[in-house]
Chain A
């Protein structure tokens, strides 16, 4: 029996499954829809008790309030700078480390791998306290470095662990052939191995990008007085007021903060799915 015959037998079931999938997709997307919708609603409508799921008079007032807020653009650039630095540095460093633990045999290799695994489990939030004092002692409080360095370190164990599968998948024969053809180790590393592992690097970078971009705790704890070094999550909090929250502003700021991550995800989504499959298969 062919696969098509198998499908024909199941057709009513499949239609029901597809209907269910579409309903679930709509439900999952609804919060994001509501966020963008609320950001576009004029002030009167958003604070109305009717909560209509559409708007007939979209306005950019909320976005204007967000961007006119003190230094919002600066916060955005800071966030972008921190996340971008972490993604690139973490990809390069993790690539080197993953190559070391998969393509070489050396003493303590297994121990190191276990350490990388254990390191992933460490609740980084708990380390906020010692990190705060370290940053203070090194005069790094209120600098972007105080955000970049911890995020870089904390993204490494998972990235190394995930890249392992990709590096392993490159055949040994290729490496030998490269050396026989006279390539140096460095040349093999950057001109042959690196391009081959690149899809894996992309999948890995999603995780470091998200954890850094989304960071709220370090941004709140380490950037305490110099707001010119703040990142986006702090800008969002400005719209929470004790008496009455400015929901339009909150939703507009949330939209602005979510869009870069969404764009990043859409760009890498195909590689992400195959990347996860590859990483866990090995």
Chain B
């Protein structure tokens, strides 16, 4: 009985404050007694869905990446043959793969840095202004956040359109085509990604800053600390958990950018110059029917993101955060 009632308590907090928990007396059939199966019952729908639509497809992805799986096998009824690491060998010997991998890493890094910098800077700005301008900035940011990636992409392409877009007019660029050159196309996509992903960082960090007690900030300010100093020595350490969360989320999102690249550069740019891994995998699988190569690229992405996750888990663990 006692074991059951304490079973659903956080270990650190059990009995720390207040009177120790007592089992409800005189209720032999108390609900606590059944707690052995209850959590699994609650978890059942989630686990079934995740098992069927996440774990099993990952297994399938791995499997396909080791097979020969092209149009002939999919609709031609030819038997699938085991390739071992053959698909991976093909991939790693393809110079385009390395080029795309490098582009993905650099592009994602640039996006993450830009998003974090702009998001944090604007979060700090939000704390220093009155309610009305704050509301204006918040609303504009929520608007950008809410905009679907596909409509955001089309609008940005239109804004930078060489013929009808206002940006080239204002900047006096004439009919300069942003999507023609490799770097200007990446820059354009980066701007769009920044536009739609900085609001998450801004709102989250702002929500975090509001939990920092004002007395601490006032004390620092009275002691003559500069704004930068307050941010670096007071806020950043207190916001560390939040900053880790937004950094990791940004890495994950920006590494997987698909829609923006696909729509803005029309499927990966001229001669595939703007491909990132995600789009590359998609094109290999669904445009050229090389499903096993596409799957192998997917596995590479999975491994990279898993590595990022492990780093994140170590950071969280080192903070001694209780899961």
Contact = CB atoms under 8 A, between A and B. Distances in A.
A pairs with B: yes
Interface of A: 1, 3, 6, 10, 13-14, 17-18, 20-22, 24-26, 28-29, 31-32, 34-35, 38, 46-51, 53, 93-94, 96-97, 99-101, 103-106, 109-110, 112-114, 117-134, 149-150, 152-154, 156-157, 160, 168, 172-173, 175-176, 179-180, 184-185, 188, 210, 213-214, 216-217, 221, 233, 236, 247, 250-251, 254-255, 257-258, 261-262, 264-266, 269, 272-274, 276-277, 280-281
A9 to B, nearest CB: 9
Contact of A93 (B9, B49, B142, B207): B49
A150 B46 contact: no
Given A125-B256, A262-B146, A3 B218 contact: yes
B39 A106 contact: yes
A273 B203 contact: yes
Interface in B52-100: 52-54, 56-58, 60-61, 64, 74
Contacts of A247: 158, 161, 164
B225 interface: no
A120 B252 contact: yes
Given A18-B133, A20-B125, A105 B9 contact: yes
Interface string B34-59: 11101110110111011011101110
Contact of A126 (B27, B126, B211, B302): B302
Contacts of B195: 28, 31
B144 A32 contact: yes
Contacts of A236: 150-151, 154
B149 interface: yes
A96 B148 contact: no
B15 to A, nearest CB: 11
B24 interface: yes
A263 to B, nearest CB: 9
Interface of B: 7-11, 13, 18, 21, 24, 27, 30-32, 34-36, 38-40, 42-43, 45-47, 49-50, 52-54, 56-58, 60-61, 64, 74, 122, 125-126, 128-130, 133-134, 136-152, 154-156, 158-159, 161, 163-166, 169, 195, 203-204, 206-208, 210-211, 214, 218, 221-222, 241-242, 245, 252, 255-256, 258-259, 262-263, 278, 281-282, 285-286, 291, 294-295, 297-299, 301-302, 305-306, 308-309, 312-313, 323
Contacts of B295: 126, 129-130
B164 A217 contact: no
A25 B133 contact: yes
A105 to B, nearest CB: 5
A5 to B, nearest CB: 10
Given A3-B218, A21-B125, A123-B298, A233 B54 contact: no
A221 B203 contact: no
Contacts of B35: 104, 106
A45 B218 CA distance: 54
Contacts of B125: 17, 20-21, 24
A154 B129 CA distance: 38
Given A100-B42, A119-B50, A129-B64, 15 more contacts: A28-B137, A46-B164, A53-B166, A101-B43, A105-B7, A122-B302, A126-B302, A172-B21, A179-B27, A214-B148, A221-B286, A254-B154, A258-B151, A276-B203, A277-B204
Contacts of A266: 139, 142
B154 A250 contact: yes
B278 A172 contact: no
Contacts, number: 307
Nearest to B129: A18
Chain A interface main SS type: helix
Nearest to B60: A130
Contacts of A110: 323
A173 B24 CA distance: 12
Given A1-B222, A31-B156, A216-B259, A118 B207 contact: no
B258 A125 contact: yes
Nearest to A236: B150
B43 A123 contact: no
B212 to A, nearest CB: 11
Given A28-B141, A214-B148, A277 B31 contact: no
A276 B36 CA distance: 32
B39 A265 contact: no
Contacts of B47: 97
B197 to A, nearest CB: 12
Contacts of A273: 203, 206-207
Contacts of B133: 18, 21-22, 25
A175 B32 CA distance: 11
Contacts of A112: 43
A130 B155 contact: no
A92 to B, nearest CB: 8
B323 A113 contact: yes
A216 B144 contact: no
A20 B129 CA distance: 10
A101 B136 contact: no
Nearest to A175: B8
A97 B301 contact: no
Nearest to B44: A96
B76 to A, nearest CB: 15
A128 B285 contact: yes
Contacts of B165: 51
A134 B164 contact: no
A153 B45 contact: no
